[in-house]
Amino acid sequence: MFNRKKNHAIDTLIDETMNIRGSMNFSGGIRLDGRLQGNLTLTDGAYGSLIMGPKSKISGDIKTDTAIIAGEVKGNIEVQEFLELHSTAIVNGDIIYGDIEIHAGATVNGNITKNKPEKIIKKDKQAKERNNDK
3-class DSSP state of 83? strand
* Cβ atoms within 10 Å of 110's Cβ, excluding its own: 14
Whole-model pTM: value is 0.81
**Tens-digit pLDDT profile for residues 23-82:** 999 999 999 999 999 999 999 989 999 999 999 999 999 999 999 999 999 999 999 999
Query: 79: burial class by Cβ within 10 Å (0-12, 13-18, 19+)?
Result: buried
Residue pair 84/68 in contact (Cβ under 8 Å)? The answer is yes
